Structure 1
Amino acid sequence: MSEDRLASHLRSWLGQWPGTGVGLTVVGSPARDEPAWDGGLHRVIGVAEQGRGVLSVPPPVADVVTAWLDAGGARTQIPGVAGLPGAWFDGVFRWTDRPASLPDAGEWIAADHPSVPLWLRRFGGDVLVAVDDDTGEHLAGVGVKEHDIHGRELAVVTAEAARGRGLARRLVAQAARRVLDEGAVPTYVHARGNAGSASVATAAGFPDRGWSFLAVDPQ
């Protein structure tokens, strides 16, 4: 995968990439008023590379948010400035074109299969699950957030009793290989304080390049 594929994803997802000038370029995108992968509205999202990037917002509030940031206003206050309820989120954005060479740990099945845990069903499409061979219990799984045809974000959860076995990193690497094979770029987002998720990402071949994912979380 070349960085052109990542750029195509970010242009499609955010409405523009890269930004112009220093700091955040605010873009009014109609996509912010359209249902996302989960059927919900993700009204403010952004990606920044070393502090410079694009913040995608609904078109009616683009000028207000731009003026706020140009005046030195804090990013954390954007929800109130834009009149969009929620909490400001500043996490780590990762992507890869070289997943770790780890052995597969799961199988792909339809998200609506009766055996799939509720938390995985919300992703739709196919989900990747690791199952205990003896009990049939689901140990861990990966859901895919299909943001557009160019980019798919991976989300992983491991049952508490199955942690420490390396299942999460193997599943994430396995899912990333499939995403790449299908012509898209695999991405991974986590909170800055989530050391466990950061460790999984690094081990699966998603390095921390110093990129940020920005959003208003409606909670």
Structure 2
Amino acid sequence: MLDKRLYHHLVTWLGQWPPGQQLVVVGSERRVLPAWDGHVYPMVGVGSPTGTVISVPSPRTAAVRALADLPLDDLLEKLPTALGLAGRRKAYRGVFRYCLDPTALPDAGEWVPFDDPVVPQWLRPFGGEVLIAREPSTGAYLAGVGIKRHDGHGNELSVGTEERARGQGLARRLVAQAARRVLDEGAVPTYLHSFDNVASARVAEAAGFPDRGWIVYGV
């Protein structure tokens, strides 16, 4: 049975879940509204072993549905044009993971405001509080996690580690720590990465985000 937090997240984020068939195209006002970072994402999709939901702006629903019988690679290539975005690269896809039971790793960081002077630039757009690990002797930033607050039911984690601090297990500990907080707040933590990002996949697996064969799509 699908976790109710994940169910509500997917319904809110996409406009429909479950798919009910191999591919469903739905129109959603969320595709024309600013997302967690203030940008607009005109297509978001999630695929599971039982089917795929592609979420697009409502006025573009018919144009995208007309592509539904194409092989997936062809559909992704033609999606930008169907969305009125000719000239953009074809839609991307990656691994969609979620976690209900983070690995029992020790905490590695502290929550600080996003605008704390120690927080690097890449973490600031996440807003709220971010999770960072510091060098014990100097207090310098080593690694961090930001939370993409998509809605009240699902929050996506993003992690980054300074090169000098890699190989110490910081990323997996921070991701597990952040996942516990998201779950404590009543949402489900998700983790997305490209298929060829082996390092990110290892972090996810170690933190308690298994690969269930789910896929994320986007433009």
Q: Could you state the TM-score of these two structures normalised by the residue count of structure 1?
A: 0.94
Number of aligned residues = 215
1:136 match: 139
Task: Note if contact 1:2-1:97 (Cα within 8 Å) is conserved in structure 2.
Answer: no
Aligned match for 1:183, one of 178, 182, 186: 186
Offset at residue 52 of structure 1 (A): 1.2
2:112 match: 109
Structure 2 residue 137 is matched with structure 1 residue 126: no
Q: Secondary structure at the match of 2:217?
A: strand
Aligned match for 1:202, one of 202, 205, 211: 205
Mean CA deviation greater in 97-106 or 67-76? 67-76
Offset at residue 75 of structure 1 (A): 2.3
CA RMSD of aligned residues (A): 1.4
Aligned match for 1:171, one of 174, 183, 203: 174
2:18 match: 18
1:150-191 superposed Cα distances (whole Å, 9 cap, x missing partner): 000000000011000000000000000000000000000000
5+ residue gaps, structure 2: none
2:60 match: 61
Percent identity over the alignment is 55
Offset at residue 80 of structure 1 (A): 2.2
Q: Could you state the TM-score of these two structures normalised by the residue count of structure 2?
A: 0.94
Q: 1: CA distance between counterparts of 2:35 and 2:19? A: 22
Aligned match for 1:147, one of 150, 165, 170: 150
1:131-150 superposed Cα distances (whole Å, 9 cap, x missing partner): 00112211000000000000
- Residue identity in the other structure for 1:123: F
Q: 2: CA distance between counterparts of 1:118 and 1:136? A: 17
5+ residue gaps, structure 1: none
Task: Note if contact 2:104-2:176 (Cα within 8 Å) is conserved in structure 1.
Answer: yes
2:31 match: 32
Distance 1:17 1:42, change over 3 A: same
